[in-house]
Amino acid sequence: MPTTNSSTFALSLPSDLEIRITRVFDAPRELVFEAWTRPEHLSRWWGCDDMTMTTCEMDVRPGGAWRYVVRMPDGQEWGFHGEYQVINRPHKLIYTFVYEPYPDHPAVVTMELEDLGGKTRFTETTRHESIEGRDGHLQADMEKGAAESLDRLSEFLATIG
C-alpha cells in the first residue's frame, strides 16, 4: 500500500514491520555508494531541508559504528546511531538504526543500489521490531524527511559527478 509515489520517490509498507523507499538517481551506483559511506559527503546532504548536521561519525566496516546529530532551526539537536552489519561495495549496506529519543525502538536498514546503466535505483527497507516502532517512525514525519533528504542527495550527486 504505497503512501507516496512520484516519478522520483516512492514509499510503501511491504509488511507490518517494514517501510520501503525507492528512488532513481541520475548518477552511477559507485558515486551513490560513496555519498552514503563518506562522512564528508553524507554530512552535506543527509536530513531535512531545515536541519544542519553537527556530527557525522562513520566507521564503515562490518561491526563499525556510525552516529549523526542534526540541529533544527530552533536549536534542538537530535541524534541517530547504529552499527554496520554488511558492506557489499557498491551494491548493499545493512546497518542498525536507532533514533536516540526512542532507544527502545531500533530498526535494521537494508540499502540496495541497482545499476541502471549510468543511473542508480536506490531501495531502502527499514525493518522495525514492532508495528508500534514502524508506525512511530512514520508518524515522526519520516516520509517528508526522507523525500527531502533524497532530493538533497540528488542535488549533491550532481555537484560531485
* Tens-binned pLDDT, residue by residue, of the chain (161 aa): 334 545 689 999 999 999 999 999 999 999 999 999 999 999 999 998 899 999 999 999 999 999 999 999 999 999 999 999 999 999 999 999 999 998 999 999 999 999 999 999 999 999 999 999 999 999 988 899 999 999 999 999 999 97
* CATH number of the domain enclosing 79: 3.30.530.20
pTM exceeds cut of 0.85: yes
Q: Which residues constitute the domain of residue 70?
A: 4-158
The cell numbers describing 151, all together, are: 532530493
Q: Are strands 18-25 and 107-115 parallel, antiparallel or unpaired?
A: unpaired
Q: Which of left, alpha, beta for 118 (phi over 0: left; psi -120 to 50: alpha)?
A: left
- Please tell me the total count of domains within the chain: 1
